[in-house]
Amino acid sequence: MSGPRRKVAITGLGMVTPVGNDVATTWENLQAGRSGCGSIEHFDASGFSTTIGAEVRGFDFSSASADRKLLKYASRSHAFALAAARQALDDAGIAPGGADAARWGLAVGAGMMSVGYDELREVGRQCAPDGEFSADGFLDPSFPGDPVAFCRCQSNSGLGLLAREFGIEGYSTSVHTACASGGQAIGTAMKVMRRGHCDFMLAGGFDSMLNPIGISGFCLLGALSTDNDDPQRASRPFDVTRNGFVLGEGAGFLVLEDWDAARARGATIYAELAGDGNSLSCYRITDSPPDGNGPIQAINQAMADAGLGPESVDYVNAHGTSTLMNDKSECAGLKAVMGSSIDQVHVSSTKSCMGHLIAAAGAVEAAVCALAIRDGVAPVSANVRELDPECDVNVVTGESRRVRIRAALSNSLGFGGSNSSLVFRHPEEVS
């Protein structure tokens, strides 16, 4: 007969985002409702209908790792991941190594496109047939190819770089479920620990689709805001005038460890990672069902896994992309699950400040939930001037709210219908 279920503690956080290259700066700016959105600077976006994004700025790529050879294989988003993961481990005050290396695991949500435009150019040059498709140098065989660029493009490259950098030898997996990737990676890490396969997990997500391919694809879908003249207000989840999301980039990582072991070593515990839920909407590749059915399943699973009812949830970090259908669907799902408790649940979307970090979103927003619990703050959902009547939930508008958060819920709803929900519990609520 099995014993009591293992509890999982969050003891370390790391973030690289459009509003800060570390946890403290990111959290300060999110609480203040400061936007990281602006005109795209690291490539020429003038030919696209959307010329704005939420870029990581002032980031020193050379500082992501002291291993120069390893950095050669790192893309833009891999460097974000290495830096955020290092922050999380330093924050937790523990690190893999020695006899414990095999008891450490790694679960990452990796980008929808783990390759950037520059890597595609280099790989194309290597593989081009004689003279074919050589306009503007792309696929031009007169340029030498770059095998390192090819390695950088692999979907599990980030996973391998992180394992190598930190000496992790245990369970590892790379999750690719679009915008749900980061959340599902963290949920996977929790389940691995509950099964006893690992005592520690480094879990998170990373992404950067801010390149000509990523922008052009989302422009073709009509998913991006075209408010190029007002970028700081372009991301406005739940507002009646919202017209699309702002594409962002970044990384977020959590250190997870056995609850009892963390307490025994005197670790600072942000929260318990208490519940995980996943579903597939099977509706449209770009939209959640209008009635919120897919999100409803994921939220119900996560709350049941945590053993909590609607009356116990004080804060929801919503997926809240600022697209018309997504926000309506998610609010319908929240109202269906929370029932009569919905007016007491504080809801915000921090994408209003950071933009949509795609595969990194769920991981960064999980870290935000842990901070919200620690500090008793529901961060503001910025830029809401007139709430959409179909999003009539208790949205945190104007400024952040002081509120004791017993339990928090984080939703990540991905392209293709993948849905992830995570539940976090205040340490004082854990028996």
Q: Which residues pair with residue 348 across a beta bridge?
A: 317
Identify the CA nearest to 153 among candidates 73, 211, 210, 81: 73
Low-confidence ranges of the chain (pLDDT < 50): 1, 126-143
- Whole-number pLDDT of residue 124: 52
The set of long-range contacts for 322-325, using a CB threshold of 8 Å and a minimum separation of 24, is 322/225, 322/234, 322/235, 322/236, 322/237, 322/239, 322/242, 322/243, 322/244, 322/245, 322/246, 322/349, 322/351, 322/352, 323/223, 323/242, 323/244, 323/245, 324/242, 324/243, 325/287, 325/288, 325/290
What tokens appear for 396 in the block?
């945190």
Q: What's the pTM?
A: 0.93
User: Is residue 199 packed enough to be buried (19+ CB in 10 Å), middle (13-18) or exposed (0-12)?
Assistant: middle
Active-site annotation holder among 37, 78, 179, 198: 179
Q: Which CATH superfamily, name and number, covers 8-116+153-429? A: Thiolase/Chalcone synthase (3.40.47.10)
Pick the catalytic residue: 176, 346, 356, 426? 356
CA distance 31 to 372: 9
Structure tokens belonging to residue 156: 């599990």
Domain boundaries, the chain: 8-116+153-429, 119-149
pLDDT of residue 111: 83
The DSSP element (H or E) to which 205 belongs, if any, is strand 200-208
Whether 176 is catalytic is: no
The pLDDT, as a whole number, for residue 131 is 41
How far is 38 from 104, CA to CA, in rounded Å? Answer: 39
pLDDT over 70 percentage in the chain: 90
Active site residue 151: no
pLDDT in the model for residue 122: 55
Beta pairing partners, 208: 249
Q: Which single residue is written with the structure tokens 């409803």?
A: 296
Q: For residue 207, which phi and psi values (nearest 5 degrees)?
A: -170, 155
DSSP structure string for 243-270:
--B-BBEEEEEEEEEEHHHHHHTT----
User: How much is the pLDDT for 319?
Assistant: 98
pLDDT at 113: 62
> Is the four-CA dihedral 212, 252, 31, 336 of positive or negative sign?
positive
Q: Check if 42 is active-site.
A: no
The strand pair at 418-425 and 271-280 is best described as antiparallel
Please enumerate in sequence order all residues whose Cβ is within 8 A of that of 351, keeping only pairs 6 or more positions apart, or say none. Answer: 235, 237, 245, 246, 248, 319, 320, 321, 322, 357, 361
